[in-house]
Amino acid sequence: MSFDATFQEKKLKSVGTRPLRPDGVDKVTGRARYGADYNMPGQLVARVLRSPHAHARIVRIDTARAEGLKGVKAVITAADLPDLTNGNAALFAILDNCMARTKALYDGHAVAAVAAIDAKVARAALKLIEVEYEILPHVVDVDAAARPDAPVIDEGIFTSGVEPKPDSPSNVAARSEFGHGDVEAGFAKAEVIVERSYKTEQTHQGYIEPHACVANCNADGTADLWVCTQGHFVYRQNCADLLGLEVSKLRVTSSEIGGGFGGKTHVWAEPVALALSRKAGRPVKLVMSREEVFRASGPTSATSIDVKIGATRDGRITAATSTLRYTSGPYPDTWAEIGAMTSFACYDLENVKTVGFEVVVNRPKVAAYRAPSAPMAAFAVESAIDELAQEIGMDAVELRIKNAAQEGTRASYGPVYGPIGIGPTLDAARVHPHMSAPLGKNQGRGMACGFWFNFGGETCTDLNISADGTVTLAVGTVDVGGSRASLSLIAAEEMGIPYDDIKAVVADTATLGYNDMTDGSRGTFSSSMATISAARNAITVMRERAALMWDIPVEDVYWEEGQAKAAGSKYGNLSPLSVKDIAAEAGNTGGPIAGHSELVADGAGVSFATHICDVEVDPETGATSIVRYTVIQDAGKAVHPSYVEGQYQGGAAQGIGWALNEEYIYGEDGRLQNPGFLDYRIPVCSDLPMIDTQILEIPNPNHPYGVRGVGETSIVPPLAAVANAVSNAAGVRLSHVPISPPRILAALHKQARE
Contact residues for another protein, defined by CB under 8 A: 123, 126, 289, 620-623, 625, 660-661, 665, 673-674, 678-679, 681, 683-684, 686-687, 740-742, 745-746, 749
Q: Smallest distance from the beta carbon of 286 to another protein, in angstroms? A: 16
Give the C-alpha separation, 575 to 564, whole Å: 9
Q: Tell me the three state secondary structure of residue 707.
A: coil
Instruction: List the Cα angle 408/448/146 in 5-degree steps.
Output: 95
Q: Smallest distance from the beta carbon of 686 to another protein, in angstroms? A: 4
Which class for 6: exposed (0-12), middle (13-18), buried (19 or more C-beta within 10 A)? exposed
For another protein, the closer of residues 11 and 441 by Cβ is 441
Give the C-alpha separation, 536 to 171, whole Å: 52
Give the C-alpha separation, 552 to 558, whole Å: 12
Which class for 743: exposed (0-12), middle (13-18), buried (19 or more C-beta within 10 A)? middle
Q: Tell me the three state secondary structure of residue 284.
A: strand
Q: Cα–chain-centroid distance for residue 442?
A: 35
Give the C-alpha separation, 617 to 45, whole Å: 48
Alpha-helix residue ranges (DSSP H) falling in 508-624:
523-550, 579-584, 586-589
For residue 618, give the H/E element and its range.
none
For another protein, the closer of residues 243 and 660 by Cβ is 660
Identity of the residue numbered 114: V
Q: Smallest distance from the beta carbon of 627 to another protein, in angstroms? A: 13
Give the C-alpha separation, 296 to 679, whole Å: 17
Give the C-alpha separation, 629 to 448, whole Å: 12
Torsion of CA 713, 718, 719, 725, to 10 degrees: 150
For another protein, the closer of residues 486 and 740 by Cβ is 740
Q: Smallest distance from the beta carbon of 736 to another protein, in angstroms? A: 14
For another protein, the closer of residues 427 and 687 by Cβ is 687
Q: Smallest distance from the beta carbon of 40 to another protein, in angstroms? A: 25
For another protein, the closer of residues 585 and 618 by Cβ is 618
Q: Smallest distance from the beta carbon of 596 to another protein, in angstroms? A: 48
For another protein, the closer of residues 312 and 621 by Cβ is 621
Query: Rounded to the nearest 10 degrees, what angle do helices 718-730 and 641-660 cross at?
Result: 50
For another protein, the closer of residues 572 and 742 by Cβ is 742
Of 108, 37, 110, which is closest to residue 75 (Cα–Cα)?
A: 110
For another protein, the closer of residues 409 and 740 by Cβ is 740
Give the C-alpha separation, 737 to 722, whole Å: 10
Q: Smallest distance from the beta carbon of 681 to another protein, in angstroms? A: 6
Q: Tell me the three state secondary structure of residue 209.
A: coil
Of 101, 42, 100, 114, which is closest to residue 279 (Cα–Cα)?
A: 114
Q: Smallest distance from the beta carbon of 484 to another protein, in angstroms? A: 31
Count of CB atoms situated within 10 Å of the CB of 132: 11
Q: Smallest distance from the beta carbon of 179 to another protein, in angstroms? A: 38
Give the C-alpha separation, 391 to 74, whole Å: 65
Q: Smallest distance from the beta carbon of 365 to another protein, in angstroms? A: 23
Q: Smallest distance from the beta carbon of 687 to another protein, in angstroms? A: 5
For another protein, the closer of residues 260 and 683 by Cβ is 683
For another protein, the closer of residues 588 and 621 by Cβ is 621
Give the C-alpha separation, 109 to 57, whole Å: 12
For another protein, the closer of residues 511 and 673 by Cβ is 673
Do 247 and 236 meet the contact criterion of CB atoms below 8 Å apart? yes
For residue 435, give the H/E element and its range.
helix 433-436
For another protein, the closer of residues 608 and 629 by Cβ is 629
For another protein, the closer of residues 351 and 661 by Cβ is 661
Give the C-alpha separation, 538 to 502, whole Å: 14
Give the C-alpha separation, 503 to 488, whole Å: 7
Alpha-helix residue ranges (DSSP H) falling in 466-578:
483-495, 523-550
Q: Smallest distance from the beta carbon of 130 to another protein, in angstroms? A: 17
For another protein, the closer of residues 91 and 688 by Cβ is 688
User: DSSP for 364-379?
Assistant: PPP---SSTTHHHHHH
Give the C-alpha separation, 228 to 243, whole Å: 19
For another protein, the closer of residues 33 and 127 by Cβ is 127
Give the C-alpha separation, 169 to 172, whole Å: 8
Do 140 and 54 meet the contact criterion of CB atoms below 8 Å apart? yes
Q: Smallest distance from the beta carbon of 37 to another protein, in angstroms? A: 19
Do 248 and 223 meet the contact criterion of CB atoms below 8 Å apart? no
For another protein, the closer of residues 100 and 660 by Cβ is 660
Q: Tell me the three state secondary structure of residue 646.
A: helix
Q: Smallest distance from the beta carbon of 293 to another protein, in angstroms? A: 14
Q: Smallest distance from the beta carbon of 619 to another protein, in angstroms? A: 10
Q: Smallest distance from the beta carbon of 442 to another protein, in angstroms? A: 14
Give the C-alpha separation, 41 to 285, whole Å: 11
Q: Tell me the three state secondary structure of residue 630.
A: strand
For residue 112, give the H/E element and its range.
strand 110-116
Q: Smallest distance from the beta carbon of 291 to another protein, in angstroms? A: 9
Do 262 and 519 meet the contact criterion of CB atoms below 8 Å apart? yes
Give the C-alpha separation, 373 to 444, whole Å: 27
With a CB cutoff of 8 Å and minimum separation 6, the contacts of 390 are 396
For another protein, the closer of residues 123 and 313 by Cβ is 123
Q: Smallest distance from the beta carbon of 269 to another protein, in angstroms? A: 17
For another protein, the closer of residues 27 and 750 by Cβ is 750
